[in-house]
Chains A and B, each alone.
Chain A
Amino acid sequence: MRLRLEARPAPSRAMLWLSPLLAALLAAVGGGVVFALLGHDPLVALGTLFLAPLSTLDGLTELGLKATPLLLCAIGIAVGVRANVWNIGAEGQLTMGAIAGGGIALAFGGEGRWWVLPLMLLAGAAGGAAWAAMPALLKTRFNAHEILTTLMLSYVAIQLLGWLVHGPWIDPEGFNFPQTRMFDDDALLPVLVEGSRLNAGFLLALLAVPLAWLLLSRTVTGFRLRTVGQAPEAARYAGFSATGAVWFSLVLSGALAGLAGVLEAAGPVGQLQPVMSPGYGFAAIIVAFMGRLHPFGILGASFLMALLYLGGEQLQVSLQLPIAVIGTIQGMLLFFLLGADVFIDQRLVVVRDARHA
């Protein structure tokens, strides 16, 4: 008698949505093991990680703040994966968005002009879109794979930001710290909850959820994207352009990641620093898969991932645990998810070994 994987007659819808929950549970168990190995009471550490941030208004607003860039980047990544376009360079597009928006803030901020902030947001989205347009061009014109080009350009973007804040854009009164001057009030996002850091950017990210859902499920463009991704032959037969799908999904996801970047610069950070994101662009890949590539699923998953970041900070403060624990749990989360996803299309069956006659 042994166990064997067998194809299900039809994919299991229950398993499709149970899988992320199962993965989160297993990752929590895995996290508990890591905490125990580091010499901490796993239950205390898990409580600090997952429950403590939710018990205060301050924690809840910080949760929304951290979910914002994750949500924006993950929606873009999901639209791409639906069309079988793998943009894993959201981190770089986010950085370019921060650079483009930050440039506007440094150039035009401080005079109380009403258009500075909207222009920053536009520039941020355009910066991210332009950075993602390069892999689109290289893919459609030269057949270069977007996984490698988007990632390589991320490293380039991060170096570009490093050059700007160490060189031309450095704060002249900043004691030579590698950062720009703080943005003026007219270049900062309005705060939503008095005394917190949660700002209007959160509303923009929330708005992106129904819009992305409409795009994917209720428009011809969305249908074309999904067809190109799932059934390229059928898409070709129907005359749906694969080139168009690459351009559309990369530029859209770049714009969303760029917007996330300028929201960080004009929100919690308030200036440009050498590092604008603690890996939101990469974590967003996990968020997209956890959310089943579905905008509403991604909304939930982005809050879970934000909780992981926030709880990680709490662990650092109250238990002196390194923030690197979070990266390990993130990795486990994605592994468990991909492992559990196997059982959407397949099931385990018990096979009795046939006796040879």
Chain B
Amino acid sequence: MPGMPDAFALVALLVATLRAATPLLLAGFGELVAERAGVLNLGVEGMMLVGAAAGFIATASTGNPLLGLAVAALAGALMALLFGVLTLTLRANQVACGLALTIFGVGLSALIGLPWQGTPITGLATVIWPNLDAAGPLAQQFMLLDPVVWLALATPALVGAFLYRTRRGLVVRAVGESHDVAHALGYSVLRVRYAAVVFGGAMAGLAGAYLSLVYTPMWTENMVAGRGWIALALVVFSAWKPAWLALGAVLFGLVTIAQFHAGAFGLDVSPHLLSMLPYLATVVVLVLISRDATRLKLNAPAALGKPFGAAG
């Protein structure tokens, strides 16, 4: 069958792209919900790192990666809760607290993960499909994807449906646009924002655990390597719209794996220079999307980053 190897390579590329996009999808949609509720949490990188470390430790000590994922989500949620207490209850500056969360997460994850460096784990099993053997080699590649990828792929639709098709989603968006109006209508702004922030933290924790449990099944210090910041940039890129965020995450998955496949295209470039690609692409994307200041302003949640002080 001529042409078959090409199709096979293309599917392999697509599968690799989806895997690379998974942490960006999870963390990005968590942050999207938080930002749609009006809270800017720059601590995604730190929450992902703590999730990655906590999930790895739980998996390595129990041998159960599903438990590891749950622990990671919980750890991310706890980190977000800390951020919530500071910025929502105490009304501290969101930008500074987000940076603090990342600095704290970098340190904490390095500390708790240290004894586990180099520990081998059994990663997450793939979904068991009844007719795997019967399927062709192309379909098999998709069928061998792990459940977290499937969850990540479902996330855009789930979050999109929640934000635009449910009453609660409407309340989240209302709180993000004008907390005063939402408050006047009788909604508890703080409760909605806490829920959104904690959801964002759990998703970031899950995204981190995907990296340490599945993507590169091991723990190394700082292994998130800026993906949390890229997820933040993607939310800006998407103009806070789920469809664009999904597209952006998949695009960045492609950029991320392009560096590993450069050799296959006959390019002899230093791995250090290729590693710059995702970061440079983030800058380029930010420039392209931000140059239209009016559009950005119209799409951003109007109360983003502003503290709500009805009690004061």
Query: Is B272 close to A, CB under 8 A?
Result: yes
In the assembled complex, the Cα of A149 lies from the Cα of B100 at a distance in Å of 18
In the assembled complex, the Cα of A334 lies from the Cα of B272 at a distance in Å of 32
A144-B286, A144-B290, A342-B92 known; A327-B111 Cβ under 8 A: yes
Write the A147-158 contact mask toward B (1 if CB under 8 angstroms, else 0). Answer: 111011101100
Query: Is B15 close to A, CB under 8 A?
Result: no
Q: What is the chain B residue whose CB lies nearest that of A34?
A: B111
Contact B290 A339 (CB under 8 A): no
In the bound complex, residues from chain B placing their C-beta under 8 Å from that of A167 are 270, 272
Query: Is B146 close to A, CB under 8 A?
Result: no
In the assembled complex, the Cα of A167 lies from the Cα of B86 at a distance in Å of 46
Interface of B is mostly: helix
Query: Is A218 close to B, CB under 8 A?
Result: no
Contact B90 A160 (CB under 8 A): no
B-contacting 9-mer, from A4-12, A184-192, A193-201: A4-12
Give chain A nearest CB distance to B190 CB in angstroms.
12
A152-B229, A159-B273, A346-B312 known; A138-B103 Cβ under 8 A: no
Contact A335 B283 (CB under 8 A): no
In the assembled complex, the Cα of A341 lies from the Cα of B287 at a distance in Å of 34
CB contact between A155 and one of B82, B95, B226, B233 (< 8 Å): that residue: B226
In the assembled complex, the Cα of A160 lies from the Cα of B277 at a distance in Å of 12
Q: How many A-B residue pairs have CB under 8 A?
A: 143
Query: Is B108 close to A, CB under 8 A?
Result: yes
In the assembled complex, the Cα of A162 lies from the Cα of B287 at a distance in Å of 26
CB contact between A335 and one of B104, B114, B225 (< 8 Å): that residue: B104
Write the A326-354 contact mask toward B (1 if CB under 8 angstroms, else 0). Answer: 11111110110011011000100000000
Query: Is A166 close to B, CB under 8 A?
Result: yes
CB contact between B236 and one of A4, A148, A151, A342 (< 8 Å): that residue: A148
Contact A138 B279 (CB under 8 A): no
Contact A331 B92 (CB under 8 A): no
A145-B290, A152-B280 known; A334-B104 Cβ under 8 A: yes
Contact A328 B104 (CB under 8 A): yes
B-contacting 9-mer, from A39-47, A124-132, A234-242, A282-290: A282-290
A positions within 8 Å CB-CB of B: 4-7, 34, 86, 88, 138, 142-145, 147-149, 151-153, 155-156, 159-160, 162-163, 166-167, 282, 285-286, 289, 322, 324-332, 334-335, 338-339, 341-342, 346
Given contacts A145-B236, A152-B279, A162-B272, 17 further A-B contacts (CB under 8 A): A5-B312, A144-B287, A145-B286, A147-B95, A148-B282, A151-B226, A159-B279, A160-B272, A163-B270, A163-B273, A322-B114, A324-B114, A326-B107, A327-B107, A331-B105, A339-B90, A339-B92
The 6 closest A-B pairs by CB, nearest first: A327-B107, A331-B104, A163-B272, A324-B110, A328-B107, A334-B100
- Can you list 30 residue pairs at the A/B interface with Cβ under 8 Å? A143-B293, A144-B286, A145-B286, A148-B229, A148-B233, A148-B286, A151-B229, A152-B279, A152-B280, A155-B226, A156-B280, A159-B272, A160-B272, A162-B275, A163-B272, A163-B273, A282-B106, A322-B111, A322-B114, A324-B111, A325-B107, A327-B110, A328-B107, A328-B108, A328-B110, A331-B107, A335-B104, A338-B92, A339-B86, A342-B91
